[in-house]
């Protein structure tokens, strides 16, 4: 971080350039307990992006970090809202546009310095927004927070961030900030840690195809993943991160000190705008107000889905999403953000036909493979009758194949298709049958890196999601999931 001598030099330059005052705008002043008749003091805001904290409660299983792109951490403009801390009444808002990147601090955070502004001495609750043009004019903190939370990114899955990502501070971090004259006549320097309201999703596969083997390591099929589709993407967000300690769906009375900072270790949740609409009965949720984009219930035919193609092996597709969290008992497929994967598979010379003599025979000519395949115990069958013979029963109904752990696959123009789903995990409790607090979900300012490294079985015959199914369960995908604080390491100014 910039040392004190360098800071003084910077501030002296800022003071000497009167034009800088024209770059900040006092957009609204309300005459409350903080009066402009008081002695003013100079203030410089130091904005830091990519700041993370161990109290984000992520499934941080790797201390490696990725080099981000400038659009992910740039701060084009920032708006400061000042409220009188004792009375919670609005005092002043300031738009800052002359923002200079000064480098990185020792923790690797990108650091920006703002122009010097003049503020009346006092104790303030400071709220900051970046990269958004919206101006909120409210007389009290409560009114301000209620108004600024009614925001949307329009799209649920964001790929274009060229305009910058909306960022805010954790509101409680800068509560009760004292601005006063300094004995050395230097400016007040206020450190503001900004976090993005978006999370980053990286999705990739470790191989072009995966071989499936039985219990004796015999190959029975080859699976190729060729597309994915992210479901249940929220479109609305809280500007300032909301948190709460919850054991039920009772919404708390929002408090700046209790609900706008770090997540508590015990029963601590991040809250999104629809959190308390997500009941235990997920099947009753209809998404009538279009809160979710790519809502799972809006499609039932795989042909109606636009699948995203994978990048080359070991490379990642990157996109951005708003946060989506639920109470542990409501962590179900109907609400959670998940990734549906499309695959095609090829049997390994193990498709059987029931001959006229009643014996099962391998179909050696692949051009004669049927339009419908029945899968059972690592082999495939061309009819329900052949499947029944393999199971050892007189007949089998295609309506209850699950009873026999069998599945049916239909042939398409691309061959036989199957589908997998993976529900994005935020904090693993390492208990395969117990849903943990904040175990499944997406939280702002985190990077979710998902790399498929293996496939353990054939997927399902249809891309159908059962809303009341808990997120905790078998996916048949072996996934390396790294949930990381989204830190950008600046590699441009390294001296060896």
Position 67 scores a pLDDT of 58
CA quadruple 457, 293, 143, 140: dihedral sign: positive
Does the pLDDT value for residue 118 go beyond 60? Answer: yes
Residue 53: is its pLDDT beyond 50?
no
pLDDT-derived band at 149, boundaries 50, 70, 90: confident
% of residues, the chain, pLDDT over 70: 85
pLDDT of residue 11: 32
Residues 6+ apart with CB under 8 A from 37: none
* pLDDT at residue 93 in the model: 95
Residue 36's pLDDT band (cuts 50, 70, 90): very low
**Euclidean distance between CA atoms 272 and 153, whole angstroms:** 14
Q: In this model, does residue 88 exceed pLDDT 50?
A: yes
Supply the pLDDT for residue 301.
66
Paired residues of 342 in beta bridges: 227, 419
pLDDT at residue 303 above 80? no
Q: How far apart are CA 428 and CA 411, in angstroms?
A: 37
- Greater model confidence, 265 or 82: 82
pLDDT at 473: 85
Q: What is the pLDDT of residue 148?
A: 81
pLDDT band at 66 (very low <50, low <70, confident <90, very high): low
The rounded percent of the chain whose pLDDT value lies above 90 is 61
Mean pLDDT of 230-244: 94
pLDDT at site 297: 84
The pLDDT of residue 15 is 27
Query: Residue 23 has what pLDDT?
Result: 42
- pLDDT tens digits along 241-292: 999 999 999 999 999 999 999 999 899 999 999 999 999 999 999 998 899 9
| Confidence (pLDDT) at 7 | 38
Cα 293–295–298 angle (5° rounding)? Answer: 115
Q: What is the pLDDT of residue 341?
A: 95
Per mean pLDDT, which range of 148-152, 469-473, 482-486 is the poorest? Answer: 482-486
Place of tokens 């599945």: 407
Q: How confident is the model at residue 494 (pLDDT cuts 50, 70, 90)?
A: very low
- Interatomic CA distance for residues 10 and 273, integer angstroms: 41
- Average model confidence (pLDDT) for the chain? 84
Mean pLDDT computed over 55-62 = 42
Residue 327: both structure tokens together: 């109470």
> What is the reported pLDDT for 105?
78
pLDDT of residue 1: 38
pLDDT exceeds cutoff 60 at 12: no
Higher-pLDDT residue of 486 and 173 is 173
Q: pLDDT tens digits for 414-451?
A: 899 999 999 999 998 888 888 899 999 999 998 899 99
Max avg pLDDT among 11-15, 22-26, 147-151, 432-436: 432-436
| Contact yes or no for 79/137 (Cβ under 8 A) | no
Provide the β-strand partners of residue 87. Answer: none
Query: What angle (nearest 5°) sits at the alpha carbon of residue 249, between those of residues 243 and 252?
Result: 45
In this predicted structure, which of 295-304, 314-323, 389-398, 409-418 has the lowest mean pLDDT?
A: 295-304
| Distance between CA atoms of residues 95 and 76, nearest Å | 11
pLDDT of residue 4: 40
């Amino acid at each position: 971080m910039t040392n004190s001598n360098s800071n003084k030099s910077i501030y002296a330059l800022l003071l000497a350039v009167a034009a800088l005052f024209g770059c900040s705008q006092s957009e609204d002043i309300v005459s409350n307990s903080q009066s402009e008749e008081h002695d003013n003091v100079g203030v410089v805001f130091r904005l830091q992006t990519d700041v993370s904290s161990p109290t984000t409660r992520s499934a941080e299983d790797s201390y490696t970090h990725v080099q981000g792109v400038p659009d992910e951490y740039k701060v084009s403009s920032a708006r400061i809202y000042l409220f009188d801390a004792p009375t919670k009444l609005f005092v002043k808002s300031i738009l800052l546009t002359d923002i200079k990147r000064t480098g990185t601090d020792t923790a690797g955070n990108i650091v920006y310095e703002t122009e010097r502004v003049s503020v009346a001495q006092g104790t303030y609750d400071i709220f900051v927004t970046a990269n958004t043009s919206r101006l909120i004019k409210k007389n009290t903190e409560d009114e301000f927070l209620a108004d600024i939370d009614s925001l949307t990114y329009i799209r649920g899955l964001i790929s274009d961030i060229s305009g910058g990502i909306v960022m805010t501070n954790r509101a409680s971090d800068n509560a009760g900030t004292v601005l006063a004259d300094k004995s050395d006549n230097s400016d007040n320097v206020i450190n503001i840690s900004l976090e993005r309201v978006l999370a980053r999703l990286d999705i990739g596969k470790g191989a072009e195809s995966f071989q499936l083997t039985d219990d004796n390591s015999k190959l029975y099929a080859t699976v190729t993943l060729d597309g994915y589709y992210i479901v249940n993407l929220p479109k609305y967000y809280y500007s300032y991160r909301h948190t709460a300690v919850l054991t039920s769906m009772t919404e708390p009375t929002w408090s700046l000190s209790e609900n706008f900072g770090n997540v508590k270790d015990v029963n601590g949740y991040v809250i999104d705008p629809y959190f308390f609409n997500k009941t235990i009965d997920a099947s009753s949720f209809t998404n009538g107000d279009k809160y979710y984009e790519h809502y799972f219930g809006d499609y039932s035919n795989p042909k109606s889905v636009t699948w995203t193609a994978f990048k080359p092996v070991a490379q990642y597709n990157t996109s951005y999403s708003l946060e989506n969290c639920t109470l542990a008992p409501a962590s179900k497929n109907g609400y959670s953000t998940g990734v549906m994967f499309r695959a095609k598979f090829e049997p390994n010379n193990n498709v059987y036909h029931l001959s006229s003599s009643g014996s099962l025979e391998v179909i050696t000519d692949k051009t004669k493979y049927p339009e419908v395949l029945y899968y059972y115990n690592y082999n495939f069958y061309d009819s329900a009758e052949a499947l029944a013979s393999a199971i050892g029963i007189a007949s089998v109904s295609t309506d209850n194949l699950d009873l026999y752990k069998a599945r049916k696959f239909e042939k398409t123009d691309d061959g036989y298709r199957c589908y997998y789903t993976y529900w994005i995990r935020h904090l693993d409790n390492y208990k395969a049958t117990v849903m943990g607090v904040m175990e499944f979900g997406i939280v702002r300012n985190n990077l979710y890196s998902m790399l498929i490294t293996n496939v353990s079985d054939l997927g399902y015959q249809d891309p159908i999601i059962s809303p009341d199914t808990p997120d905790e369960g078998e996916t048949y995908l072996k996934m390396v999931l790294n949930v990381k604080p989204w830190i950008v390491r600046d590699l441009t100014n390294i001296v060896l």
